[in-house]
Amino acid sequence: MQESKSHFRELAVIAGLLLCAAVWFGAIEWMFPRYFLWDDNGDSFTPLFLFNARSLWETHTVPLVNFFQFAGWNHAGTEQLGVLYPPAYLAAWFATGILGNPLLTMDALCILHLTAGMLGMYTWMRTLGARREFAAGAALFYLTLPFSTHLA
């Protein structure tokens, strides 16, 4: 019985962290629409990630060559483009299919990464023996610190 209460408390803390992340990213996107689309994400990575996703969805092949850049370019040989990275396809599907705007691909990918990192920080702190409150604080600190310093 005691162990089931402990699992319930862990799940409650994790649900609270996910709710805090949703509120945090909602506030960021409300104040600064398409926050993660600045710099290289807007003019380089988003089009290439969408090219990857459309190639997989429409032709059912992994894009080895991008014929639309530089009159043909070794696309899959460039490790930076996420050709073999499943979260990039998940983010493109979510932005295109659920949100209805493919330009939100990088927002979805960054939010996915930061939320997973927050949950990873919580899990790591709990594994090290930290109390739930401290682990949740560390996870929220991990999630909010880059934006707090950037927006200050």
pLDDT of residue 118: 94
Q: Express each pLDDT in 124-147 by its tens digit.
A: 999 999 999 999 999 999 888 877
pLDDT band with cut points at 50, 70 and 90 for residue 116: very high
- What values do phi and psi take at 82, rounded to 5? 65, 30
Host H or E run for residue 129: none
What one-letter code names the amino acid at 106?
Answer: M
According to the model, what pLDDT value does residue 151 have?
A: 63
What's the CA gap between 126 and 148, in Å, rounded?
A: 25
Residue 31 C-alpha from the chain's centroid: 19
Per-residue pLDDT, averaged over 22-35, amounts to 87
Return the top range by mean pLDDT from 1-5, 24-28, 63-67, 122-126.
122-126
pTM of the complete model? 0.81
Q: In the beta sheet, which residues pair with residue 73? A: 66
Structure token digits, residue 112? 């996915």
Query: pLDDT class for 42, splitting at 50, 70, 90?
Result: confident
Nearest to 136 by CA among 121, 114, 116: 121
Contacts for 56-60: CB closer than 8 Å, 24+ residues apart: 56/89
The whole-number pLDDT of residue 72 equals: 66
